Amino acid sequence: IRAHSVAVLGAPFSKGQKRRGVEHGPKVIRDAGLIERLSNLDYPVHDFGDLSFPRLEKDEPFMHVPFPRTVGTANKLLSGAVSSAVGAGHTLVMLGGDHSLAIGSVAGHAQQCPDLCLIWVDAHADVNTPLTSPSGNLHGQSVAFMLKELQDKMPDIPGFSWMKPFLSSRDLVYIGLRDVDPGELCILKNLGIQYFSMRDIDRLGIQRVMEVTLDHLLARKQRPIHLSFDIDAFDPSLAPATGTPVNGGLTYREGIYIPEEIHNTGLLSAMDLVEVNPVLGASREAVEATAALAVDVIASSLGQTRLGAHATLEEIPSAKDTEQLRL
């Protein structure tokens, strides 16, 4: 199953949280060979480069939420860019940056595909509101902005007047959760959101998790999928260069099976790969391993298989054709 073309868009942004470095994520993911890898899958690949986000001089915290206007403005800009790329018929790959960028990415995608569904692969649920968030950081509140059911639980945050919630809680599935705040668990339970914690993956196996996920989202009708993949879903032994690592994450094989299965639906329409932070890698090797893993996830989402491509060779060469071998 092939998309017509892929658009890659970098979003070097870090103000959804307080650690510096994650703004360099797009560069290290590209340096790990992303564009070449996608070109090998026989897509036209359009690299739209990196967005440049305005620096706001004055951006006072709102309640205990830092940089609200900076994050809101950046996401408004990103949503327009994502909407244009998806509207032009590309499958979009957004490279973060921190996970607050999913606000603009999924919102822009939803402008073009209002019936989309969202698969959120992450150690964290990112569904705090400013009233439940222990840290105030907006990268832990992205999903709360999207959910219609939380509309009356979200205060009016400066910088976000452009943003209207667009997603129903039944159109979202989480995979990989293992560090969820009390307020978030309350939201998951109250809204009846489908989620698979790491314990659920232990119990069911990743194959069953993906089967139930896709059934939950697609049984009523086939619709565009948005995959939002936080690299910290993986175990920190595999993806050390990230801001909020949590032990006991996805294995390499589990983390690759997820995008493979999403690709096999033929419905992936846009994806985010976020929270790769090269400054937090203990060594160059740690950073390169994390970035290489990000490339593997993206390529698997777009049809790279673990068996390799066999379309290049249609039939077994015959021993009768030995003349060519002697030359």
Tokens for 84, please give them.
């244009």
Q: How far apart are CA 175 and CA 158, in angstroms?
A: 31
* Marked catalytic residue, from 23, 50, 179, 232: 232
Residue type, 187: I
Q: How far apart are CA 28 and CA 233, in angstroms?
A: 18
Annotated binding residue 126: yes
* Marked catalytic residue, from 24, 109, 139, 263: 139
Annotated binding residue 232: yes
* Marked catalytic residue, from 24, 99, 226, 263: 99
* Sheet arrangement for strand 6-11: 45-50, 6-11, 91-96, 268-274, 225-230, 117-121, 172-177, 194-197
In the residue annotation, 99 being an active-site residue is answered as yes
- For residue 188, give every residue at least 6 positions away whose Cβ sits within 8 Å of its Cβ, in sequence order, or none: 125, 127, 174, 180, 195
In the residue annotation, 124 being an active-site residue is answered as yes
Tokens for 276, please give them.
């790769």
Burial class (CB in 10 A: 0-12, 13-18, 19+), 223: middle
Annotated binding residue 90: no
- For residue 68, give every residue at least 6 positions away whose Cβ sits within 8 Å of its Cβ, in sequence order, or none: 59, 61, 62, 138, 157, 158, 159, 160
* Marked catalytic residue, from 23, 184, 230, 235: 230
* Marked catalytic residue, from 50, 122, 171, 272: 122
* Marked catalytic residue, from 59, 126, 171, 184: 126
Where do the DSSP E strands lie in 137-224?
Answer: 172-177, 194-197
Strands 91-96 and 117-121: unpaired
In the residue annotation, 98 being an active-site residue is answered as no
Annotated binding residue 64: no
What's the half-sphere exposure (Cβ side, CA atoms, 13 Å) at 246?
18
Annotated binding residue 216: no
For 11, list phi and psi in degrees, rounded to 5.
Answer: -130, 80
* Marked catalytic residue, from 24, 124, 226, 263: 124
* Marked catalytic residue, from 171, 254, 275, 296: 275
Q: How far apart are CA 101 and CA 94, in angstroms?
A: 9
- For residue 83, give every residue at least 6 positions away whose Cβ sits within 8 Å of its Cβ, in sequence order, or none: 108, 109, 111, 112
Residues labelled catalytic:
99, 122, 124, 126, 139, 230, 232, 275
Q: Point out the annotated binding site for Mn(2+).
A: 99, 122, 124, 126, 230, 232
Provide the annotated binding site: 99, 122, 124, 126, 230, 232
